Structure formats: structure tokens, C-alpha cells
């Protein structure tokens, strides 16, 4: 709830948006001019974020960017991004490859959670007694799910005594981005796969002759700007989400479950996605195809995601990160290793074709975001001639549903065991059982299907 109650002036809000925009422009210029960024496919938003981190109040204090405000922006942008995703037309096609990747994604989330908690418990027992074992749970949140979810869920743990969890989640997510792009590109260059030289892939700029149509106008400009309608729809859905969460929070308070309220607010992005899907399917109905333009939705969702990534990096508190630098690096290293080993082992046994494309796309996605996976995939498959790009997108929708129990279970050590070590051991057991059930279901499915 802190992100909703944070007080700031309109001037501060507009100034922050302006500075974040200027950082994105700077990141775009640096991507075009600096060979290092081109070689490792570093996205402009990531460059902008680290530039803002260095120039912000935590280091050189050139720009008036406060981590607390950046964290609030990450929280809200996460829900707005999920609204954009929910408004996209859904695909009913689920290929065999996409289903395999969906099982793979959730399996990695569970493995990252088990390894993360194991490392955190070991560190707390041997080296850092004051370390909260929940630090390990930030691994699947920051790596597999992204900085927005890591911050949103982490900041809800402040009421249970882990006050810096949100910022620690941003730190782990930042390490995940570095792993996705730098280690990912190293693996691409080390492989025998030809590295793509597609137009615009290195500099990020598309030449005039290769600029596709980004969106189409669904309204007459004489009546209303089409972009204004799409923005208004997103804003209206977010307001409905706020009313829905407020009502549910009141019910929890009335039921004597006040401690559950912060967790409810941390999951507002899921409710925002559900409201968006319901709006598209049941409210707009026949109008949806006329009202909504898929290209416009892609542009909006991509814009929200770019600002989210930039704000998530700028929002890192270096003092908090330094205090947790040892655990963050150890947990991130463990997560990177198990993700790499698991994918290397499984991809060869599940798939019969496009092995490297599926491996690198999944590796980048499960340490960064789906954008990371698609970016590295495009290096080896510039025209997306293989089915892997579509499989990654379809699999993400499946993983959101199958991974939801993980998001629910991840709070059990706090809600049922008051943050005790016993609660984290029990959670580890639950994750192991869920992983075993998932692997059995996956095996049964794989036996009935030909290799993709």
C-alpha cells in the first residue's frame, strides 16, 4: 500500500517522467554509438536505468531521482503493463513446443525458489545470522518474473520485518538482466550458430526501407485521437482495479485478516490483468475488434515496460544493495547455474529441432524478461523463421497460470509461521512436492507427443 500512499507533488511526478524520458533518449543514443552495447544487445532501457542510477541521488546526485519514488513507479507500471497484456487478443493455439516451454518455465521458477531459499538458509546459519531467509525467494521473483513483481511482492514483506525486501528484489532483478544479456551473448558467440547482422539489430535503429507499420488508426482523428482512447481504457481499468482491491482489503480487515492486506496490494497486477481480460471479453465484446488495435496495444505495453525497467534500475538503493551484496551475488550465482544446467539437460531430451534457439531464448527469459529472450533469439533467428518466438510468448501465458500457486505459497512463511525458519523449510518442501507433480505431468504429456 506504500506506493499508493506515497506523497509527491505534480511537479515532482512530471519532472521524474521527464528525466526518465531523457535517460531513455540517452540510452538510445549510447546504444547507437557504443559498440560494447551493440555487441551484447543491451536494451536502451537497461542502459538508461544504470545511467540514472549513477547520476541519481544514491551516487553522484546529479539528477533528483529518489529510490522511494522510483519504487512506487515500478509498482504502478507493473499493473499498467499487465493491463496492456490483458487487452491483447489471446491466441487459442498451444503448440506442443509452447506447452513444453510452459512446463519448463514453471519448473525453473520452482527450482530457483528451492535453491534460493537453500542458499539463504545456509548463509543465515553459517555466516549472516541476521539475514532473512526470504531473500532466497526473491530469486524466482527477480530472475524469472522480473523487477516489477520482485518489488511489488518484496515491499509487502515490510510489515513482517523484512523492510528492504523490495529493494533487494530490484537488485537481484538487475543482476538477472546482466546475466541474460552478457552471459547470454557470450553463449551465443561461443556457439557455432551464425550471429545475425539483421538491419537495426546492433544499433537499434531501423533504416527507412525496413520500418514496419507499428499501429493502425481505429478512430477518426476528427472525433478523437485513437491513442487517447487506448490510454483512457487502460486508465479506466486501473481505476476499477483500485476499487476492486480496496473492496477486497476492506473484507479482509472485517474478517480480522489485517496482516493479509499488504500481500493483497502486492498482487494488484494479477487483478489488473484479470479485469483487463474481462473487459476485453465481456464488456467490449463485438466492439473489441473495432475499438482496439493490436499494434497500438503493443506500442503502449512496450512503452510501459521500457519505463518500468528504467525506473527499476534507478530505484535500486545502493546502500541496501551493498549491505546485501554477498547474499545477492551468491543467490544470483546459484540461480544462474541451476537455470543453465537444467535447460542444458532438458532441452536436448524434450526437443528434436531448434535446440540452441530454444535454449538461449529460455535462458535469457528466465534470468531477465520475455523481451530478453526474444532479443537474444533474434540474434540467431533474425526473421523469427523458427517457431520459437511464438512458443515463448504462448508459453508465458501458460506459465502465468501454472505459476500462480508459487506466488501464493511464497508468502506462507510470513502468514502462517511469522517468518520463522520452520516456515521456510516447510515452504521448501511444498515447492519440491509441486515440482515433482509438475515433472510427472510433463513426463506424461511428453510421452504422448512427438518430439517438437
In total, the chain counts a number of residues equal to: 452
Q: Give the pLDDT band of residue 91 (cuts 50, 70, 90).
A: low
> What residues does each domain of the chain span?
2-198+225-447
Task: State the cell numbers at 132.
Answer: 532473512
Distance separating alpha carbons of residues 164 and 192, to the nearest angstrom = 43
Are 228 and 220 spatial neighbours (Cβ–Cβ below 8 Å)?
Answer: no
Nearest-angstrom CA–CA distance, 110 and 102:
13
pLDDT at 21 over 80: yes
pLDDT score of 325:
94
d(CA 48, CA 19): 10
| Spatial contact of 271 and 242, defined as CB atoms under 8 Å apart | no
pLDDT band at 398 (very low <50, low <70, confident <90, very high): confident
> Over the range 260-293, which residues count as b (16 or more CB within 10 Å of their CB) and which as e?
bbbbbbbbbbbbbbebbbebbeeeeeeeeeebbb
Q: What percent of the chain has pLDDT over 70?
A: 95
Mean pLDDT of 75-97: 82
Region 400-414 average pLDDT = 83
Higher pLDDT, 41 or 180: 180
DSSP state of 8: -
Is residue 188 a contact partner of residue 360, using CB atoms and an 8 Å limit?
A: yes
pLDDT digits (tens, 9 = 90+) for 97-108: 889 999 999 999
Amino acid at each position: 500500500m506504500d506506493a499508493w500512499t506515497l506523497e509527491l507533488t505534480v511537479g515532482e511526478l512530471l519532472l521524474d517522467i521527464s528525466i526518465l524520458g531523457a535517460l531513455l533518449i540517452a540510452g538510445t543514443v549510447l546504444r547507437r554509438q557504443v559498440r560494447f552495447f551493440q555487441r551484447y544487445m543491451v536494451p536502451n532501457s537497461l542502459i538508461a536505468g544504470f545511467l540514472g542510477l549513477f547520476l541519481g541521488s544514491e551516487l553522484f546526485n546529479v539528477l533528483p531521482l529518489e529510490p522511494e519514488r522510483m519504487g512506487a513507479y515500478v509498482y504502478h507500471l507493473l499493473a499498467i503493463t499487465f493491463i496492456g497484456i490483458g487487452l491483447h487478443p489471446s491466441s487459442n493455439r498451444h503448440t506442443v513446443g509452447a506447452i513444453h516451454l510452459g512446463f519448463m518455465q514453471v519448473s525453473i521458477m520452482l527450482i530457483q525458489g528451492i535453491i534460493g531459499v537453500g542458499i539463504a538458509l545456509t548463509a543465515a546459519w553459517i555466516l549472516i545470522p541476521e539475514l532473512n531467509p526470504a531473500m532466497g525467494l526473491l530469486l524466482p521473483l527477480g530472475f524469472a518474473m522480473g523487477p516489477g513483481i520482485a518489488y511489488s511482492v518484496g515491499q509487502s514483506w515490510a510489515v513482517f520485518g523484512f523492510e528492504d525486501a523490495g529493494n533487494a528484489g530490484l537488485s537481484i532483478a538487475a543482476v538477472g538482466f546482466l546475466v541474460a544479456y552478457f552471459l547470454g551473448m557470450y553463449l551465443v558467440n561461443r556457439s557455432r550458430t551464425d550471429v545475425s547482422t539483421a538491419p537495426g539489430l546492433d544499433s537499434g535503429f531501423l533504416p527507412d526501407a525496413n520500418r514496419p507499420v507499428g499501429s493502425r488508426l481505429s478512430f477518426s482523428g476528427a472525433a478523437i485521437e485513437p491513442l487517447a482512447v487506448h490510454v483512457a481504457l487502460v486508465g479506466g481499468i486501473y481505476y476499477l482495479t483500485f476499487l476492486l482491491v480496496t473492496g477486497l482489503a476492506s473484507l479482509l480487515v472485517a474478517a480480522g485478516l489485517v496482516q493479509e492486506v499488504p500481500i493483497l496490494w502486492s498482487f494488484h497486477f494479477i487483478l489488473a490483468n484479470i479485469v483487463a481480460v474481462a473487459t476485453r471479453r465481456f464488456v467490449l465484446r463485438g466492439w473489441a475488434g473495432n475499438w482496439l488495435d493490436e499494434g497500438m496495444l503493443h506500442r503502449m505495453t512496450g512503452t510501459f515496460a521500457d519505463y518500468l525497467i528504467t525506473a527499476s534500475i534507478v530505484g535500486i538503493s545502493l546502500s541496501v544493495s551493498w549491505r546485501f551484496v554477498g547474499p545477492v551475488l551468491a543467490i544470483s550465482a546459484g540461480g544462474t547455474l541451476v537455470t543453465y544446467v537444467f535447460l542444458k539437460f532438458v532441452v536436448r531430451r524434450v526437443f528434436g529441432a531448434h535446440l540452441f534457439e530454444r535454449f538461449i531464448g529460455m535462458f535469457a527469459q528466465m534470468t531477465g524478461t520475455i523481451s530478453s529472450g526474444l532479443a537474444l533469439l533474434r540474434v540467431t533467428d533474425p526473421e523469427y523463421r523458427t517457431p520459437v518466438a511464438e512458443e515463448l510468448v504462448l508459453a508465458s501465458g501458460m506459465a502465468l497460470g501454472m505459476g500462480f500457486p508459487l506466488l501464493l505459497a511464497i508468502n506462507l512463511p510470513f502468514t502462517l509461521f511469522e517468518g520463522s525458519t520452520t516456515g521456510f523449510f516447510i515452504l521448501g518442501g511444498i515447492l519440491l512436492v509441486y515440482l515433482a507433480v509438475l515433472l510427472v505431468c510433463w513426463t506424461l504429456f511428453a510421452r504422448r507427443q512427438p518430439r517438437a
